[in-house]
Amino acid sequence: MTNPAPEPAYVAVDWGTSSFRLWLIGKDGSIIAERRSGEGMTTAARTGFAAVLANHLAAVAAPEGLPVLVCGMAGAKQGWVEAGYIDTPAALADIPAAAVRIPGVAADIRILPGLAQRDAAAPDVMRGEETQLLGAAATLGDDDHLVCMPGTHSKWVRLSGGKVLGFSTFMTGELFEAIAKNTILSHAIAEAGAISGETPAFRAAVARMVANPALATSQLFSVRAGSLIAGLSPEDAKARLSGTLIGLEIAGALSLVAEGTPVSLVVSGALGALYSEALAAAGLSPSIIDADTAVRNGLAAGAKALWSL
Amino acid sequence: MTNPAPEPAYVAVDWGTSSFRLWLIGKDGSIIAERRSGEGMTTAARTGFAAVLANHLAAVAAPEGLPVLVCGMAGAKQGWVEAGYIDTPAALADIPAAAVRIPGVAADIRILPGLAQRDAAAPDVMRGEETQLLGAAATLGDDDHLVCMPGTHSKWVRLSGGKVLGFSTFMTGELFEAIAKNTILSHAIAEAGAISGETPAFRAAVARMVANPALATSQLFSVRAGSLIAGLSPEDAKARLSGTLIGLEIAGALSLVAEGTPVSLVVSGALGALYSEALAAAGLSPSIIDADTAVRNGLAAGAKALWSL
């Protein structure tokens, strides 16, 4: 005799710029079904958000009218319905209540807000990461914490007592792509494969940035010069570019917290190994939290707060 | 009665990546004729260096067999004839003797070498700027000096007693283009005109980088975030991008010299005003040397050393 299938309770959706992920969650909290696709905000803005969601709900046979909780770029101005921002300092527990309901549909579909830092010297925004933070809150506890969330736009968040005090977005991933493709460094790294964080050139580049971040754009040129006069291999050149940008990000984040503040890394996939090595090269030993689990836990916390599910 | 035309002594050529400049110089040191074109190394590598030079020599009616001294990228590996490098620490006075003669032609045509810094942590190269330094040497004197030479790849040179102790290339201009065109910041600055160094947003961005350069790539994202949540205008967004990159360069160069080292700015054209404002925002009062004059003086010093002209 097999266990009966759990009864569906709600649908959780992480709707990013270029990716869509949906989970059908049971009343016991289990994952009944999962969908992943490339229909992120950019695609859905053309094909229609409602239609994309309806297709995936049908694919997992979600019962009509099941509540849906969405986080991420679907709530941006260019998204489905603008879900606004909560301003920092922001209590993570306040996020669910600020969700915005999609108007004109029978089902209860809500999008969680992002966070905004309205600081003239360092204005900043996030959308999606706040839900990961909400999901990681129980693990992180109430102590002061620096949370690193790597990506195209890496976020470093200063947490204390369940509140986001402030955060900084570093354009690391996007700069890596723009520099690798559109500058003179492209010649030096053209033939390189994937970067390994274990490459000494990567770790050395991180350490140099932590020691003197002001030399960042000179270290970038050294990728070209090293290739010209020092026989720097394409692999080491690419590792040096990556290590310089990631090391600069680490140096910047550390400059905003007290020395010794515990660091956590919320990450999934290949970036996890790379950032673990980078943080080690900077002398840090972060605790690691899986980003996929964190976003699901955050949506679960939201669903519980909104619908007592 | 008019003065007789001065007798030609030599031809000076500044042959960069994308520009060609030639001066026919008289025995009294005066400029008899000048040519400027876009036939830099990139173009000449396709159409032929000898042919480009011959056309311009004919255009200024240079006498057959007049000696020609060239500096810049024409001496690169991808240039006309590779003119190699002098390694740092390098005495500026040693540059002319290391010029490489074009083989197989009757006329005495020589290309000046570049400088190379063979340092595993900060390998670096220059080609063309060493000739500007040679030309500025008399003005700069023998004291310790930090020389800023802005451009696509800005050079900051540490000089002492007529020697280049070391130098750093910052990819400022090239990064500005790559980031403005190929990242999410393009939306924020799309409609902006030319940057003025007098814009408060520019000066504030420079000052922030000098105060905390580690936050560079976060300050870059703030251009986007400021546009999203703080009404940052396209003009201020562009000024903030430029000020962040130039300020980071200044912070990096200052990190390598003793406080109070005199700073000189070797520059021509619009970049002069921009860098003057940036250096002022960083609390510096540089002496300014015209880059066009400096390269001509450097080629004159070379011609004098090589041919007693």
- Tokens 């400029």 belong to which residue? B31
Determine the pLDDT at residue A231: 95
Q: Is A270 in the B-facing interface, judged by CB distances under 8 Å?
A: no
Contact A213 B217 (CB under 8 A): no
pLDDT band at B254 (very low <50, low <70, confident <90, very high): very high
Report how far apart, in Å, the C-alpha atoms of B267 and of each of B42, B136, B149, B171, B289 are: 23, 11, 6, 16, 7
- When scoring B167, B168, B169, B215 by the number of chain A Cβ atoms within 10 A, the one with the most, hence best to mutate, is B215
Q: Give dist(CA B143, CA A34) in Å, integer.
A: 70
HEC string of chain A? CCCCCCCEEEEEEEECCCCEEEEEEECCCCEEEEEEECCCHHHHHHHCHHHHHHHHHHHCCCCCCCCEEEEEHHHCCCCCCCCCEEECCEEHHHCHHHCEECCCCCCCEEECCEEEECCCCCCEEECCHHHHHHHHHHHHCCCCEEEEECCCCEEEEEEECCEEEEEEEECHHHHHHHHHHHCCHHHHHCCCCCCCCCCHHHHHHHHHHHHCHHHHHHHHHHHHHHHHHCCCCHHHHHHHHHHHHHHHHHHHHHCCCCCCCCEEEEECCHHHHHHHHHHHHCCCCCEEEEHHHHHHHHHHHHHHHHHCC
Q: Which residue of B has its CA nearest to A168?
A: B218
Burial B26-37 (b: 16+ CB within 10 A, else e): eeeeeebbebee
Mean pLDDT across chain B, nearest whole number?
A: 96
Interchain contact, A123 vs B225, CB within 8 Å? yes
Looking at the domain that runs over A170-290, which CATH code has it been given?
3.30.420.310
pLDDT(B81) > 70: yes
Q: How far is A92 from chain B (nearest CA, A)?
A: 20
Statement: residue A1 has pLDDT above 60:
no
Residue B1 has pLDDT above 60, yes or no: no
Range A8-140 classified under CATH 3.30.420.300: yes
pLDDT tens across B107-131, in order? 999 999 999 999 999 999 999 999 9
pLDDT in tens, B186-208: 999 988 899 999 999 999 999 99
Q: What integer pLDDT is reported at residue B4 of this predicted model?
A: 73
CATH number for the region B8-140+292-307 comes to: 3.30.420.300
pLDDT in tens, B26-73: 999 999 999 999 999 999 999 999 999 999 999 999 999 999 999 999
Q: Tens digit of pLDDT for each residue in A282-299? A: 999 999 999 999 999 999
- Identify the pLDDT of residue A106: 92
More confident residue, A308 or A219: A219
The answer on pLDDT for B82 being more than 60 is: yes
| CB-defined contacts A:B, below 8 A | 157
Please check whether residue A288 touches B, CB under 8 A. Answer: no
Shared fold status for A8-140 and A170-290: yes
Q: What is the mean pLDDT of residues B75-104?
A: 97
Q: Which residues contact B261 (CB under 8 A, 6 or more apart)?
A: B144, B145, B146
Residue of A nearest to B77 (CA): A228
What letter would DSSP give residue B107? S
At A119-174, the pLDDT tens digits run 999 999 999 999 999 999 989 989 999 999 999 999 999 999 999 999 999 999 99
Instruction: Using a CB–CB cutoff of 8 Å, tell me whether B211 touches chain A.
Output: no
> Is 70 exceeded by the pLDDT of residue A3?
no
Residue B3 binned pLDDT confidence (cut-offs 50, 70, 90): low
In the predicted structure, residue A72 carries a pLDDT above the cut 70: yes
pLDDT over 90, % of chain A? 95
Q: Predicted confidence band at B309 (pLDDT cuts at 50, 70, 90)?
A: confident
What is the value of ipTM here, to two decimals?
0.95
Coil/strand/helix, residue B212? coil
Percentage above 70 pLDDT, chain A? 99
Q: H or E segment at B289?
A: strand B287-290
Per CB-CB distance under 8 Å, the chain B contacts of A220 are 171, 175
pLDDT reported for residue B191: 83
Q: What digits encode the pLDDT tens for the residues B140-178?
A: 989 999 999 999 999 999 999 999 999 999 999 999 999
Average pLDDT, chain A: 96
User: What is the rounded average pLDDT of the residues A241-265?
Assistant: 97
Task: Work out the pLDDT band at A2, boundaries 50, 70, 90.
Answer: low
The domain ranges of chain A are 8-140, 170-290
Q: What is the mean pLDDT of residues B203-217?
A: 98
Q: Which residues pair with A267 in a beta bridge?
A: A290
**Tens-place pLDDT, residues A79-135:** 999 999 999 999 999 999 999 999 999 999 999 999 999 999 999 999 999 999 999
Place of tokens 């054209």: B269
* Predicted pLDDT at A163: 97
